[in-house]
């Protein structure tokens, strides 16, 4: 049956006029052209430098004091206040020791302990699917043209806890546009590295590996969707998804795929990891929504990590507080059905 | 022997049983270099929940251990372990109510009605209450055989406890599975013993009929 489907698709594709047929030749971008671009070189240098230094010193990133890490892994960036919340961010300690990154184990403390073995340099990202510019790119080439900015975002986990995190990155849309998605590109699919030798959690089949996430193309192009390479002004620690991760602040945290090695444009909605593992509990959209409970727990409130033992619980906001910016993306959609 | 158990064995075991809660208290107040990490409330909640299950399991181990070792020494600790299970489940509920839900009783009531895993957890806790209240030697004497029957409720409580744990795990079921296997063994042993004694009684009756 699957075979039939793919055959039909091929046939359809052969009939349709491909966007490249109507794109003037001079508009095509060669890989070389894609790599040309000036900004962010300083940050890039720092990125690879940190990778080296950290390994050379054998120093776990989580344990490194902010000052020590700051000296080696400082990124060049501007603060984007317009895209930042005013709440105080969680501590570096909290953000780097309390992680859901099942590739390194299912306990919140596992990633900080086991992710230090991950080699983030060299790193390649393959780009393919419904786009004109495809190929395998070194991380440096992916990042080169993008000036970095800091945005302080809310992070709401599907497990009903939340944090505020100062990420450093650049708009996902700016990156995706460089690959010239075709008119068939309705979705973007991301994949995490699959390497059980470096990611001990992948030796057990808690989830089907590699981890896959995806966005509708208009969601991906939304200016709030962020490609992240740093945290607290420094290179992203491994346990937080180094060297390249996604942050979609109006969606539950699991949409923010970590350690990305593949970006593909697709015509159909990609099958994503959690939505596939437990379809009744996690959906493709996974927009933060206090009105739609997880089948086993309420999403109406959240416990804010950090601070005192008391009074951590606060109401959860629709779209995690970003409703003004993103609600229009879903106008006319039944969000109870497309949870 | 009796003297040693009473004045040495029991106090030592009692102190050991308090270790988890002392550890949590030290962590909550930042004493003795203990830290509960970024989410202390979750650590408290899960630690108390798991120790409730641990003590239920330990309590259920006492009878098989007696049979295995032909020593009734084990049974002298059974009440203490059972009461510690009750102590930790009360702490579990307190942490949930006071720290996690910030004292909102309405939220708890809604959770009990709406969330199956909380419903069965609460049911388990409520069923432990009569067992705790009738745990004294006096109650045991007064209730006689009914005491034994009443305290079989602990089997149901343990099943509800493991179920409650299983249902709230997101994906990694290793730990609840471990508890479920342990409990299956412990309850299976009792079933096996019961059947065997029934067969024995049956065989005895049959033999008598034959003789008559």
* A44, A60, A170, A237, A276 from A120: Cα distances, Å: 13, 14, 19, 10, 28
SS3 A135: strand
* A218, A263, B142 from A245: Cα distances, Å: 19, 11, 66
CB proximity under 8 Å: B 138-197 to A: 167-168, 170-172
pLDDT of residue B212: 44
Cβ pairs bridging A and B (under 8 Å): 59
**B17 domain-assigned:** yes
pLDDT of residue B209: 56
Q: Residue B99: which of A109, A296, A309 has the nearest Cβ?
A: A309
Any A CB within 8 A of B23 CB: no
CB atoms B167 and A296 under 8 Å = yes
pLDDT tens-digit series, residues B29-82: 888 888 888 889 999 999 999 999 999 999 999 999 999 999 999 999 999 999
pLDDT tens-digit series, residues B111-125: 888 888 899 999 999
Any A CB within 8 A of B113 CB: no
Kindly list the residues from chain B whose CB atom is less than 8 angstroms away from the CB atom of residue A159: 170
Sign of the C-alpha dihedral, residues A319, A256, A161, B107? Answer: positive
Any A CB within 8 A of B70 CB: no
Domain spans of chain A?
Answer: 29-330
* A41, A59, A276, B88, B202 from B80: Cα distances, Å: 66, 47, 46, 12, 36
Any A CB within 8 A of B102 CB: yes
pLDDT band of B205, cuts 50, 70, 90: low
CB atoms B41 and A311 under 8 Å = no
pLDDT of residue A1: 40
10-residue mean pLDDT profile of chain A (339 residues): values are 42 41 41 39 42 36 42 86 95 96 95 95 97 97 96 96 97 98 98 97 94 98 98 97 98 98 98 95 96 90 86 91 97 92
Average of pLDDT values for B6-20?
A: 92
Any A CB within 8 A of B37 CB: yes
Question: Could you tell me if A247 and A228 are in contact, meaning their C-beta atoms sit under 8 angstroms apart?
Answer: yes
CB atoms B38 and A108 under 8 Å = yes
Strand partners, A152: A166
Burial, B188: exposed, middle or buried (Cβ in 10 Å; 0-12, 13-18, 19+)? Answer: exposed
pLDDT of residue B204: 66
pLDDT tens-digit series, residues B88-102: 999 999 999 998 887
Closest CA of chain A from B82, distance in Å: 29
Q: Residue A311: which of B102, B107, B114 has the nearest Cβ?
A: B102
Kindly list the residues from chain A whose CB atom is less than 8 angstroms away from the CB atom of residue B100: 303, 313
Residue of B nearest to A278 (CA): B171
pLDDT tens-digit series, residues A145-157: 999 999 999 999 9
CB atoms B171 and A277 under 8 Å = yes
- Closest listed residue to residue A229, CA positions, set A123, A108, A106, A104: A123
pLDDT of residue B207: 60
pLDDT band of B206, cuts 50, 70, 90: low
**B190 domain-assigned:** no
CB atoms B100 and A278 under 8 Å = no
CB atoms B41 and A93 under 8 Å = no
Give the E-state strand segments of A145-266 in sequence order.
149-156, 161-171, 187-192, 212-216, 226-231, 234-235, 245-247, 260-266
CB atoms A296 and B115 under 8 Å = yes
Question: Could you tell me if A207 and A145 are in contact, meaning their C-beta atoms sit under 8 angstroms apart?
Answer: no
Write down the ipTM of this complex.
0.80
Closest CA of chain B from A78, distance in Å: 28
pLDDT tens-digit series, residues A227-284: 999 999 999 999 999 999 999 999 999 999 999 999 999 999 999 999 999 999 999 9
Q: Give chain B's domain count.
A: 1
- Closest listed residue to residue A61, CA positions, set A116, A120, A111, A102: A116
Class at the top of the CATH hierarchy for domain A29-330: alpha beta
Average of pLDDT values for B15-42?
A: 90
Domain residues for B23? 2-184
């Amino acid at each position: 049956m699957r075979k039939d489907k793919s055959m039909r698709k091929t046939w359809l594709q052969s009939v349709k006029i491909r966007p490249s047929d109507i794109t003037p030749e001079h508009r095509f971008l060669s890989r070389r052209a894609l790599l040309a671009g000036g900004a962010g070189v300083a940050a890039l240098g720092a990125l690879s430098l940190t990778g080296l230094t950290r390994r050379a010193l054998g120093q776990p990133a989580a344990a490194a004091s902010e000052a020590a890490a700051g000296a080696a892994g400082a990124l060049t960036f501007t603060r984007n206040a317009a895209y930042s919340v005013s709440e105080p961010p969680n501590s570096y300690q909290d953000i780097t020791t309390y992680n859901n990154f099942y590739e390194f184990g299912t306990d919140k403390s596992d990633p900080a302990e086991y992710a230090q073995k991950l080699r983030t340099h060299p790193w390649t990202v393959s780009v393919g699917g419904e786009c004109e510019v495809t190929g395998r790119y070194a991380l440096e080439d992916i990042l080169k043209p993008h000036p970095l900015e800091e945005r302080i975002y809310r992070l709401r986990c599907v497990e009903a806890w939340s944090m505020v995190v100062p990420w450093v990155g650049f708009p996902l849309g700016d990156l995706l546009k460089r690959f010239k998605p075709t008119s068939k590109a309705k979705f973007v699919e991301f994949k995490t590295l699959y390497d059980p030798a470096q990611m001990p959690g992948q030796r057990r089949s808690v989830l089907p590996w590699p981890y896959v996430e995806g966005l509708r193309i208009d969601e991906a192009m939304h200016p709030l969707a962020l490609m992240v390479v740093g945290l607290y002004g420094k290179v992203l620690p491994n346990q937080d998804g180094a060297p390249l991760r996604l942050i979609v602040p109006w969606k539950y945290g699991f949409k923010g795929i970590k350690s990305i090695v593949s970006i593909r444009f697709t015509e159909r909605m990609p099958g994503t990891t959690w939505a596939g593992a437990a379809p009744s509990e996690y959906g493709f959209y996974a927009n933060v929504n206090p009105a739609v409970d997880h089948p086993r727990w309420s999403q109406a409130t959240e416990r804010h990590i950090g601070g005192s033992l008391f009074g951590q619980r606060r109401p959860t906001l629709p779209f995690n507080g970003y409703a003004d910016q993103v609600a229009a993306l879903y106008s006319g959609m039944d969000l109870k059905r497309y949870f | 022997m009796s003297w040693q158990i009473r004045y040495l064995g029991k106090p030592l075991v009692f102190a050991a049983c308090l270790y988890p809660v002392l550890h949590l208290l030290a962590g909550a107040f930042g004493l003795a270099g203990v830290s509960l990490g970024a989410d202390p409330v979750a650590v408290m909640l899960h630690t108390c929940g798991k120790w409730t299950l641990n003590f239920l399991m330990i309590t259920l181990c006492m009878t098989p251990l007696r049979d295995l070792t032909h020593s009734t020494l084990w049974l002298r600790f059974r009440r203490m372990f059972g009461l510690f299970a009750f102590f930790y489940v009360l702490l579990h509920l307190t942490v949930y109510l006071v720290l996690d839900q910030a004292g909102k009783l309405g939220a708890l009531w809604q959770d009990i009605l709406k969330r199956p895993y909380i419903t069965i957890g609460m049911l388990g806790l409520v069923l432990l209450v009569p067992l705790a209240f009738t745990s004294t030697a006096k109650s045991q004497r007064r209730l006689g055989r009914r005491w034994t029957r009443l305290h079989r409720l602990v089997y149901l409580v343990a099943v509800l406890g493991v179920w409650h744990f299983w249902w709230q795990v997101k994906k990694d079921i290793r730990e609840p599975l471990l508890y479920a296997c342990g409990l299956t063994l412990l309850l299976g042993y009792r079933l096996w013993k019961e059947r065997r004694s029934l067969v024995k009684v049956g065989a005895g009756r049959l033999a008598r009929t034959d003789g008559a």
